[in-house]
Copies of this chain bind each other. A is one copy, B any other.
Amino acid sequence: MDYRKHFRVEPGRRIRLAERDASDTGKHGSRKDADPEIQKYVQRMDELQYLLFADGNQSLLIVLQGLDAAGKDGTIRHLFTGMDPQGTLVASFKQPSKEELAHDFLWRAHLRAPSKGQVVIFNRSHYEDVLVVRVHNLVPQSVWSKRYALINDFENMLRRNGTHVLKFYLHISPEEQLKRFKKRLEDRSRQWKISESDYLERELWPKYAAAYEDVFAETSMDHAPWYIIPSNHKWFRNLAISQIIARTMDEIGLKLPPTHVDIADIRRRYHAAEDGERESS
């Protein structure tokens, strides 16, 4: 099954999150079933990251969005730990600093955009400025409602400079979120992460859903598509995302650059001489 087609939001199409099954697992019955495929895609992503780095003309920006406990950190941990950290960066967008707030909302995202050859993962992103900002009325509607167009222009500019933008919404159900919160409550190594606000935000679920639905309708573009990934099952989330990334990278025409030097000449000049030296010594 090609999850690029299956979970992509067609540009301009309005979808309803409530109608999307967060427990969907495509054609896969179980984690055991999916694991070999995940491994294959993760391995391929790693090979393609090397090629992206070597090629040096394009880059990849992966945006991860989702409510608390949707699995953003886990996705990074499971899918990108296998990539060479030398070419792979994670940028986490938390509450903006004073300096960031003193600029336009895209400034801090632009600073962290990938340079050529790089893979950058945004853990949350500039989309928070039409999500949490909207839900909590941090700026008036007249301001945030103009931001979709600004985001599209921004991503279009990145694309024109060789950056492929892939945006993933990790879709979980309210029941699954509660289950994960409970698990954290029991896990000593993760209790320190819990804050009262996790629970307060939960009550705003319908407002977040509406805000996300507008995001998808306004900003899913051919050159920067949104994918809505059923994420109640972590293994399926990993499968779908790794497949989409691997297949996308497979098709962007990456290739090794030509050599800068005359290999035959180097072989002759340096190695023949040194071999000779050693043999006679």
Oligomer copy total? 2
Residue A29 lies at the interface, judged by CB distance under 8 Å to chain B: no
User: Contact at B260–A195, with CB atoms within 8 Å?
Assistant: yes
- The closest CB in chain B to the CB of A78 belongs to B84
Residue A30 lies at the interface, judged by CB distance under 8 Å to chain B: no
Residue A196 lies at the interface, judged by CB distance under 8 Å to chain B: yes
1/0 per residue, CB under 8 A from B, across A250-276: the answer is 000000111111010011001100100
- The closest CB in chain B to the CB of A269 belongs to B199
The answer to whether residues A86 and B82 also contact, given A185-B267, A188-B256, A256-B188 and a CB cut-off of 8 A, is: no
Kindly identify which residue among B54, B90, B195 contacts A85, using a CB–CB cutoff of 8 Å.
Answer: B90
Give chain B residues whose Cβ lies under 8 Å from the Cβ of A34.
none
Residue A95 lies at the interface, judged by CB distance under 8 Å to chain B: no
Per the bound structure, the CA–CA distance linking A267 and B274 in Å amounts to 73
User: Contact at A192–B121, with CB atoms within 8 Å?
Assistant: no
Q: Please classify how large the interface on chain A is, using the bins under 10, 10 to 19, 20 to 34, 35 or more.
A: 35 or more
1/0 per residue, CB under 8 A from B, across A69-112: the answer is 00001001100111111101110100000000000000000000
Residue A178 lies at the interface, judged by CB distance under 8 Å to chain B: yes
The answer to whether residues A266 and B73 also contact, given A85-B88, A92-B86, A271-B178 and a CB cut-off of 8 A, is: no
* Top 10 A-B residue pairs of the complex, sorted by shortest distance between their CB atoms: A191-B259, A192-B257, A86-B90, A85-B90, A80-B85, A199-B270, A77-B84, A76-B86, A192-B259, A196-B261
Q: Can you list 10 contacts pairing A with B, beta carbon distance less than 8 Å?
A: A85-B90, A85-B121, A86-B90, A181-B270, A191-B256, A191-B259, A192-B256, A192-B259, A194-B263, A194-B266
